[in-house]
Structure 1
Amino acid sequence: MELRHLRYFVAVAEERHFGRAAARLHMAQPPLSQQIRQLEDELGLRLLRRTTRRVELTAAGEAYLVRAREILSAVSSAAGEAQRVAAGSQGRLVIGCVGSATYSLLPPLVRKLHEDLPGVDVAVQGEMLAPAQVAALHAGQIDLALLRRPVDESGLRVQALRAERLIVAVPDGHRLAARKRLRLADLAAEDFVMHAGAGRSVLQETVLALCRETGFEPRIRHEVTETSTLVTFVAAGLGVALVPASVAELRVPGAAYRPLTGKTEVELAVATRADDEAPQLLRALDVLSALVRRTHRGPGSPESGSRPTGDRQ
């Protein structure tokens, strides 16, 4: 039995006439009659009662028609689903994200993915430090990582998205909050709140290197894993912090943000497994690239002053 036998049977059952069914199927009537007889012979029963004027279904034919329609519908649905998956318009995508991008890039990205790829189930794991995202990529726990470079890129495909200036988060009422712009040297005597160290945070390593280049060792009083906690600690007066400019989108009462002089930038990149060619992932990367380009060019962007850095594989 083949699917064509089911299609032929359904056409005859619905038309109640071999001639009309043959015309509907764009075939001659004799081969159609022969195929229906082959189907009945294989089943060992009669599905149709033939008269000179019309065709009637037997009780077995009525039952078989219900199942035949279900089978043909399921086959059609399976083909449609496979085509949607192959086109990247259906599937599942898990995104990991560093804290600062959680408050700027992630919301419009997820909204755009829902708009452009409504059949893709998008899940998010936010506030992940870069090394944790790399481990999650290798383990297959996430499919796309928004992280800070440098990272161990072995087995990964990494592309720069944008360079982002560092700014200073200070407590409201702090003497430095009265300044319009700060130098890194102005923070030499301050307590720092930083992202977790011990190789877990690219941003901490960047801040340490900048402070040492300026000539002082920062006094780290608190280490945290989440950017929201870091800004909350600053607002509580527990120290100052260097954060990417997009963190200013996180409005926490008691915290103020001030520009930092000089060219102090960090890079945001997107990483995927090097061998992952899932269609929904490739389409999501296209959406992400278009969104980053539009964000940089659009007026009033929260990323004003930062610039795309191009592809640095």
Structure 2
Amino acid sequence: MELFHLRYFVAVAEELNYSQAARKLHMATSPLSRRIKDLERELGQELFKRSTHAVELTPAGRALLPLAREVIEQVNAIPWRLREAAHPERATVFVGVPAGLHPDLRGKLQLLEERTRDTVDLKRWPGPTAGLVEAVHDGRLALALVRLPVADPALEVAEVLSEPLGAVVPADQFAGRKSVHLAELAGLSYISTPSDSTPAYFEEIDAQLNAAGVKKRLRLSQGDYSGIAELVSSGIAFSISMLDPASPMQLYRLDNTVTLPFADLDPHLRTALAWRRERAEPGGELAPLIAKAREAFGVSAAPD
């Protein structure tokens, strides 16, 4: 049995869909299915019940899942455990930051850098939330600011900011308006950022828009926030972004775009500080840094 067999098994078990698991693993469905069958033959157990419409874990599969996750987690932890054992006085640590970070959080991050300057050299590492969460889990990042929700049980997350969101709409179509109703957006296409950089929370918003009758969608396979602003400015689409004028996302506004609050929706993008639990335990190498991060970001101390 190879480690990749367990990784493939966990991916299918979490998705319960071979096509989605294959995309997650960046491979084709057929070789994934073959690897799962190889694992089943080696274990002498059927792990999944398959039909044309569904994939389900068998009792053996349900029993294997926590064992496989534990093995994978232990292997993933080897690099950072080894680094900490070989270099207990590591001078440089990395903090992950998502795009569009609010200036208030940047100020608190700068405060943390100042308060830890005598012990560590704190560096920032940008990325989408999914990649930052994975890097914190694997130990490549000491901690990160991430967009909620985060489902990784190995991480502790503490919310540090909740930002109200509004609709970015063509200004000429909503001149003089102080807010916008969902029904008024049905004639426009909703456009979000590419899926690899969109916070998971936006999937919930997309579902709410769909339920309210906003059915049309535009997807950018490649592009950035400036590309979205161009489409909104042209009058064919709307997007969702931060309402706060201090948000750096306001820099992407173009002529004929305006951001309005919703009259019948109250979305908020929540940002949290995240770190791996076991690395911040008493006596752990990151415990002093996490304590200072809690203080800088105004997060209550963990209960005893």
Q: Same fold (TM over 0.5)?
A: yes
> Where does residue 269 of structure 2 map in the other structure?
266
**In the TM superposition, what is the alpha-carbon distance from 1:241 to its structure 2 partner?**
0.9
The match for 1:93 is 93
Q: Is the 8 A contact 2:132 2:144 kept in 1?
A: yes
> CA-to-partner distance for each residue in 1:87-135, whole Å, 9 max, x for gaps?
x9x943312222232x434421232123322233121123x22211111
Residue 81 (structure 2) aligns with: none
The letter of the residue matching 1:157 is: E
Letter of the structure 1 residue corresponding to residue 290 of structure 2: L
8 Å CA contact 1:208, 1:217 repeated in 2: no
Q: Distance in 1 between matches of 2:245 and 2:94?
A: 23
Q: CA contact under 8 A between 1:136 and 1:142: conserved in structure 2?
A: yes
Contact 2:109–2:296 (Cα < 8 Å) also in 1: no
Task: Look up the match of 1:158.
Answer: 157
Question: Which entry has the higher C-alpha Rg, 1 or 2?
Answer: 1
How far off its partner does 1:213 sit?
Answer: 3.0
Q: Deviations over 1:207-245 (max 9, x none)?
A: 212212323324124356755664465456663211233
Residues 289, 198 of structure 1: alpha-carbon distance in 2 compared, 3 angstrom cutoff: closer
SS at match of 2:279: coil
Structure 1: segments with no counterpart, 5+ residues: 1-84, 294-309
Counting aligned pairs with the same residue, the percent is 21
Query: What amino acid is aligned across from residue 165 of structure 1 in structure 2?
Result: P
**Residue type at the aligned position of 2:243:** A
Evaluate the alpha carbon distance shift between residue 221 and residue 237 of structure 1 in structure 2; reply closer, same or farther with a 3 A threshold. farther
Number of positions where the alignment pairs a residue of Structure 1 with one of Structure 2: 205
Partners of 1:275 and 1:184 in 2: how far apart? 44
CA distance in structure 2 between the partners assigned to 1:245 and 1:181 by the alignment: 11
CA–CA separation in structure 1 for the residues paired with 2:96 and 2:211:
31
Structure 1 SS opposite 2:110? helix
Question: Would the aligned equivalents of 1:110 and 1:122 in 2 still touch at CA under 8 Å?
Answer: no
SS at match of 1:132: helix
1:113 equivalent in structure 2: 112
Matched residue SS, 2:237: coil
Q: Is the 8 A contact 1:134 1:152 kept in 2?
A: no
What letter matches 2:262 in structure 1?
L
Shift of 1:181: 0.8
1:276 matched to 2:274? The reply is: no
Gaps of at least 5 residues in structure 2 are 1-86, 281-285
Q: Structure 1 residues 106, 198: CA separation in 2 closer, same or farther (over 3 Å shift)?
A: closer
Any conservation in 2 of the 1:195–1:203 contact (CA below 8 Å)?
Answer: no
Distance 1:108 1:224, change over 3 A: farther
Q: 2:172 aligns with which of 171, 174, 178?
A: 174
1:26 maps to what in 2? none
Q: Deviations over 1:123-181 (max 9, x none)?
A: 1123x22211111112222222222222222211112223322112234x431254211
User: Over the residues paired in the alignment, what is the CA RMSD in angstroms?
Assistant: 3.5
Secondary structure of the structure 2 residue equivalent to 1:99: coil
The one-letter amino acid of 2:277's match is A
Q: 1:201 to 1:271 in 2, by over 3 A?
A: same
Question: Equivalent residue of 1:150, what SS?
Answer: coil
Deviates more, 1:261-270 or 1:227-236: 227-236
Q: What are the within-5 Å matches in structure 2 for residues 88-237 of structure 1? A: 91-101=91-101, 103-119=102-118, 120-126=120-126, 128-171=127-170, 173-197=171-195, 201-222=199-220, 227=225, 230-231=228-229, 234-235=232-233
Cα distance in 1 for partners of 2:289, 2:233 equals 38
